Chains A and B, each alone.
Chain A
């Protein structure tokens, strides 16, 4: 079974600064996807970024980028130029990409506060 660990329950960052959220996972599979989801106070789950395990290049989406270290099973999220709207819970998630696997496995989340 896969497990996803987010070791930082809460973090804070000054507006316009950069922050990195950590995520490690454990799996015996070699083909999978990793995700970061954002959950603002509205409760909506919003996909921030996705990484395919077979791609060595780190995914980026505007101010959001990841540091994917497959051998170390690490998948951290870097938020640059933090904005007040980035205040939210952030969840790291894993899904095996093989046939018959349909379960997203989530970490427990990191609560990020952006301070003006």
Chain B
């Protein structure tokens, strides 16, 4: 049982480059989300999805794009990387999104933009 799998675990980008952070879950969860973690800031919601084909913005969506073509996958795209996007990124999934069921987190991706 893999749970939530994020790839890559580490990435260094140059300013202006684009990339996709991958997230996959094998628990048939409808709800998936992306958070970023910055020092002294806790985790902040970037985008979320309540099912295939449905996505919405969170607290800090600028500079990121998402899509949800299948229940299992929820990739996060950085369109033109900026140093301000240096952070640790977490993908999470749950059966429902309201806290009644546990959210499972991936192991995170540490992204550095130089």
- Residues on A facing B (Cβ under 8 Å): 4, 9, 32-33, 35, 42-45, 47, 50, 91, 93, 95-99, 101-104, 106-109
Interface pick from B13-21, B63-71, B78-86, B98-106: B98-106
Complex CA gap A99/B97 in Å reads 9
B40 near A108: Cβ-Cβ < 8 Å:
yes
B25 within 8 A of A: no
A106 touches B99 (CB 8 A): no
| Given A45-B105, A103-B59, 11 new contacts (CB under 8 A) | A44-B108, A45-B108, A91-B43, A97-B98, A97-B100, A102-B33, A102-B48, A102-B98, A103-B48, A104-B45, A104-B99
- Docked Cα-Cα span, A94 to B27, in Å, equals 23
Closest beta carbon of chain A to B24's beta carbon, Å: 17
Q: How far is the CB of B85 from chain A (nearest CB, A)?
A: 18
Which B residues are in CB contact (< 8 Å) with A91?
A: 42-43
- Set of chain B residues within 8 Å of A98, measured between Cβ atoms: 98
A45 and B90 within 8 A (CB):
yes
- Chain A hits for B7, CB < 8 A: none
Pick the contact of B50: A32, A96, A102 (CB < 8 A): A102
Q: How many A-B contacts at CB < 8 Å in the complex?
A: 65
Count of interface residues, chain B, beta-carbon cutoff 8 Å: 27
CB distance from B6 to the nearest CB of A (A): 10
A107 to B40, CA, bound (A): 9
Q: A50 contacts which chain B residues (CB < 8 A)? A: 99, 102
The distance from the CB of B61 to the nearest CB of chain A, in whole angstroms, is 12
- A96 in contact with B98 given A43-B108, A103-B59, A108-B40 (CB within 8 Å): yes
Whether the pair B58, A103 counts as a contact (CB closer than 8 A) is yes
Top 3 closest pairs, chain A to chain B, by CB? A33-B99, A106-B42, A102-B97
Give Cα distance in the complex from A102 to B42, angstroms: 17
27 contacts between A and B (CB under 8 A): A9-B40, A33-B99, A35-B99, A43-B108, A43-B110, A45-B43, A45-B105, A45-B108, A93-B43, A95-B98, A96-B99, A99-B98, A101-B97, A101-B98, A102-B31, A102-B50, A102-B97, A102-B98, A103-B48, A103-B58, A104-B33, A104-B35, A104-B99, A106-B43, A107-B42, A108-B40, A108-B41
